[in-house]
Structure 1
């Protein structure tokens, strides 16, 4: 028997969830309030009542429905974009460009590191942040030395970033990415050894892990896949053989969970205040950690 679009058959038809009409591998319990097609978080557009599918928002693809709202919104209240992965593509491009320059001119990485010089070795630490170069908290997020490092981070950014960008909207997604990365850098700066060079987008990537877990819980999805993936990554994080700055991973993860919770659970009537207020609180924690460590080093 043929399977109808938006449905999944198994041994227990009463317990099976329908699948998104655009993504057949994603089960969902949410339907468009206009055409009643099943929609996953990436396809949800927040409307005055419930969520609608992209076709109904645009007015149709043959459905005959009028546009749902003058300004369609994502799950978190962001503006719906024609390309829901645009920022993710730009971030991947920036990271790859910095990596290629670093391969051609290895000394280029020395100007981007959070602490010390590359490669890490016993030396007199060069701590630009303590000397007022706070921008290193930011630039170190885009520098990678090893091919396996950037490959893992960029694959994770693509897999996690696209759905999050679609669910949060560009502004909120960018805030999540950058602030999570800064939180990872700040925690590294605060407690890492003074000769432990740190670089890479891992703090921001773990922020995406944290926010994805919050979003999946909000949508009542099966949490086991993301938890298993996170546990595996944490095992690698604390494996001494990989020489990984675990501080950046933990700092980014905590920031991602906090910001993600504020983004997807903010009440509609105070949505922007709660969402960006949460971002401001995490940024304040970044500033405090940076000031505390700087006072210890100067």
Structure 2
């Protein structure tokens, strides 16, 4: 198949069906390079002063401005373009799977890492949990799973949602969104669930990625119906299926959505202030909830 060279435009105006990324033909997209007009997906698009450019145009120095910094490829959110846009997603997935194997080989580790507010885990022993100063449980519980179906669903969601988000946000911003979404889910669970109710799983973080995906698709003018249907089904499952910590899902969804709005809609001139400020506010809210709940329990 002939390929349209960079810097030229298709004058026919034909649009037969959904556009496919010129580097990844199987990926439908509604975004075009502002220089050569070729369709590009979230993994390929590079943020420019106006719109987005494709990697070929960036490499040819088609960007505006002068000096290395002006032509440095950037993601939609201002992050650095990475050679492997799924590296952080792969690491997170491997960490979840590794801990799943570890706690099944040594089951005694599970109670010591699971999220509890305050509970007597061992007969005759002192109370343990976040209220007793074990704040690490807010983090460790995010990477633990007890059932095969639980980790299977979460890791499928991580792989499906995480890759495009990591490519669009950049590694550091994507990892920040993931961790803060998970922490927000843990904090809301700690606040609203019974103190002795155990909770674990990456679901809070995954719901954060789901909310962020909806924000990103809206920003790129993609068809939002698939992600909205997926979100509705997951929320229905959350509130109708027994044994699910709905607080983690809701907390992660809210945090992920708020952070993603700041990531992809921040004005270019105040991008760092808006992005860092929003993440700091979410973290402050998490800390406030944990401190207030701890005071109430102790």
Aligned to 2:217: 216
Aligned to 1:205: 206
Q: Which moved more, 1:225-234 or 1:156-165?
A: 225-234
| Whole-angstrom CA distance in 2 between matches of 1:125 and 1:252 | 31
TM-score, length of structure 2 as denominator length? 0.88
| Whole-angstrom CA distance in 2 between matches of 1:3 and 1:67 | 22
Aligned to 2:165: 164
Deviation at 1:275, TM superposition (A): 0.8
| Whole-angstrom CA distance in 1 between matches of 2:126 and 2:222 | 46
CA 1:27–1:125 in 2, change beyond 3 Å: closer, same or farther?
Answer: farther
Q: Is the 8 A contact 2:142 2:201 kept in 1?
A: yes
Cα root mean square deviation, aligned: 2.5
Q: Is the 8 A contact 2:44 2:55 kept in 1?
A: yes
Deviation at 1:28, TM superposition (A): 2.8
Does residue 257 in structure 1 map to residue 257 in structure 2?
yes
Deviation at 1:253, TM superposition (A): 0.3
Gaps of 5+ in 2: 5-13, 64-69
Q: Is the 8 A contact 2:117 2:131 kept in 1?
A: no
Secondary structure, counterpart of 2:132 in structure 1: coil
Deviation at 1:51, TM superposition (A): 1.1
Deviation at 1:191, TM superposition (A): 0.4
Could you give the per-residue CA deviations for residues 229-258 of structure 1, whole angstroms, max 9, x where no partner exists? 1111112111243x0100000000000110
Q: Is the 8 A contact 2:35 2:57 kept in 1?
A: yes
Deviation at 1:223, TM superposition (A): 0.9
Aligned to 1:296: 296
| Whole-angstrom CA distance in 1 between matches of 2:198 and 2:103 | 15
Deviation at 1:194, TM superposition (A): 1.8
Deviation at 1:22, TM superposition (A): 2.4
Deviation at 1:14, TM superposition (A): 5.4
Q: Is the 8 A contact 2:79 2:171 kept in 1?
A: yes
| Whole-angstrom CA distance in 2 between matches of 1:26 and 1:143 | 32
Deviation at 1:17, TM superposition (A): 4.3
Q: Is the 8 A contact 1:117 1:197 kept in 2?
A: no
CA 1:117–1:128 in 2, change beyond 3 Å: closer, same or farther?
Answer: closer
| Whole-angstrom CA distance in 1 between matches of 2:281 and 2:140 | 22
Count of equivalent residues: 282
Aligned to 1:284: 284
Mapping for residues 108-127 of structure 1, pairs under 5 Å: 108-115=109-116, 126-127=127-128
Mapping for residues 1-298 of structure 1, pairs under 5 Å: 16-57=17-58, 59=59, 65-66=60-61, 68=63, 69-115=70-116, 126-241=127-242, 243-298=243-298
Q: Is the 8 A contact 2:88 2:175 kept in 1?
A: yes
CA 1:247–1:97 in 2, change beyond 3 Å: closer, same or farther?
Answer: same
| Whole-angstrom CA distance in 1 between matches of 2:149 and 2:171 | 28
Q: Which moved more, 1:39-48 or 1:268-277?
A: 39-48
